[in-house]
């Protein structure tokens, strides 16, 4: 009885005939003389833990590599028969497909060669195995310093860069740089590799200690380098700060010097301006003095001319006045002479003119005599003539006048 997903190879031990059954169903076999071998049509084989693949690397270290393969077996009976004749069982088939890890050193494999190893393994399983050769090559790697090696960092294990000659299995390359391949052992049976998975490899204890020591030392080295870089950066920063401060101080001093120079230049310029202004003022005062003197000289000259003109005018005026006086005197003398000759006519005309003026001015005059006269204590007999009346005289006179006016009003009323 056959199941789905499984290929069965029935071998007749009497005749040696191989029958292949890939579909589920019931088939007839020769009892006691038939052998049935089953192959999963898709095989997934995982090797891990104690069954992990043991790989011995080029530097003699050993590693345990968990691997998972997924194969698709051929479906045609002839390919199945050929595969069965070669491997005889599914277990032998899987074991024959294990990888060869001699092309790597333990350190490079566990420090980054795993991905390249996985890629090359899948490529070879699908396209053919690389043709290889053993070759001694020089590799450079980080290693622990030998015991007793002097180190400027102090005692203890240190890392050094070392070169080492190892025998490695390397691919043979064609002229174009492509690796040469042997015939793919799987393609002749029609087996396809659909997936290759590699788990986390486990190094042997010695390699693990080496890797851990290198990892720790690398971390310490990185930390030390970082601290050194930090200290160097801090020192550079402090140096830069000092340079900046020094530059700032120099700039400040230069600026102060320039400011003092500018201030001194300004003072010099101000002094020059003051001196020039004073010179201009002095020149202006001198010019003004000269102008004033010239003005005074002109005024004096003008006054002199005026005085001369006044003197000439005065002389002319005196001459004119004298001439006028003489003429008037001669006229007056002629008038008086004529009047002396006609005296009676002159007196009659004079009296006539006086009378005309008097009558014309006295026609509206009204002369009233005073009713009362206040005299001094000397009385009206002339004994006190020329003496001013006193206050008592005035008061007494006003009292008498009041009584007299009152008596007059009373009389007029009666």
- What the block records as the tokens of 276 is 């020039």
Say if CB 160 and CB 217 are below 8 A apart.
Answer: no
Mean pLDDT, range 157-163, rounded to an integer: 58
pLDDT band of 101, cuts 50, 70, 90: very low
Range with the largest mean pLDDT of 54-58, 164-168, 308-312? 308-312
DSSP-derived letter for residue 188 is G
Between residues 26 and 367, the one the model is more confident about: 26
Lowest mean pLDDT among 39-53, 103-117, 193-207, 238-252: 103-117
Domain residue ranges in the chain: 41-203
Q: Is the pLDDT of residue 134 over 80?
A: no
Question: How many angstroms separate the CA atoms of 100 and 121, rounded?
Answer: 9
The alpha carbon of 55 is separated from its chain's Cα centroid by a whole number of angstroms, namely: 64
Between residues 395 and 24, the one the model is more confident about: 24
How many CB atoms neighbour CB 101 within 10 A?
22
- What the block records as the tokens of 76 is 């045609």
3 state DSSP class of 34: strand
- Against a cut of 0.95, is the pTM above it? no
DSSP-derived letter for residue 204 is -
* pLDDT at 384 (0 to 100): 53
Tens digits of residue pLDDT in 288-315: 888 888 888 888 888 888 888 888 888 8
Cα–Cα nearest to 130, from 119, 138, 143: 119
């Amino acid at each position: 009885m056959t199941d789905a997903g499984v290929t069965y190879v029935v071998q007749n031990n009497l005749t040696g005939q191989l029958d292949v059954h890939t579909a589920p169903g019931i088939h007839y076999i020769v009892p006691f003389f038939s052998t049935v071998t089953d192959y999963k049509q898709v095989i997934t084989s995982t090797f891990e833990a104690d069954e992990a693949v043991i790989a011995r690397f080029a530097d003699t270290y050993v590693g345990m590599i968990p691997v998972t393969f997924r194969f698709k077996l051929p479906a045609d009976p002839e390919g199945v028969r050929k595969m069965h004749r070669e491997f005889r069982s599914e277990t032998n088939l899987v074991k024959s497909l294990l990888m060869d890890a001699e092309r790597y050193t333990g350190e490079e494999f566990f420090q980054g060669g795993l991905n390249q190893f996985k890629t090359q393994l899948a490529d070879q399983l699908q396209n053919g195995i690389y043709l290889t050769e053993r070759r001694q090559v020089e590799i450079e790697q980080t290693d622990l310093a030998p015991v007793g090696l002097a180190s400027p960092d102090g005692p203890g294990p240190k890392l050094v860069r070392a070169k080492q000659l190892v025998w490695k299995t390397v691919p043979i390359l064609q002229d174009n740089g492509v690796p040469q391949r042997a015939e793919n052992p799987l393609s002749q049976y029609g087996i396809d590799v659909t997936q290759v998975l590699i788990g986390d490899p486990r190094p042997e204890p010695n390699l693990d200690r080496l890797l851990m020591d290198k990892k720790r030392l690398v971390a310490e080295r990185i930390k030390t380098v970082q601290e050194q870089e930090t200290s160097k950066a801090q020192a550079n920063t402090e140096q830069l700060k000092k340079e900046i401060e020094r530059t700032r101080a120099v700039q400040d001093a230069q600026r102060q010097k320039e400011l003092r120079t500018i201030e001194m230049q300004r003072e010099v310029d101000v002094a020059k301006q003051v001196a020039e202004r004073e010179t201009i003022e002095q020149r202006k005062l001198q010019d003004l003095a000269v102008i004033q003197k010239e003005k005074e000289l002109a005024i004096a000259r003008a006054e002199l001319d005026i005085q001369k003109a006044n003197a000439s005018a005065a002389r002319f005026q005196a001459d004119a006045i004298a001439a006028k006086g003489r003429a008037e005197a001669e006229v007056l003398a002629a008038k008086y002479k004529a009047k002396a000759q006609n005296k009676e006519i002159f007196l009659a005309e004079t009296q006539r003119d006086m009378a005309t003026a008097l009558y014309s001015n006295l026609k509206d005059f009204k002369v009233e005599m005073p009713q009362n006269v206040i005299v001094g204590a000397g009385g009206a007999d002339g004994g006190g003539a020329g003496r001013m009346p006193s206050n008592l005289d005035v008061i007494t006179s006003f009292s008498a006048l009041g009584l007299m006016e009152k008596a007059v009003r009373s009389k007029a009323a009666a």
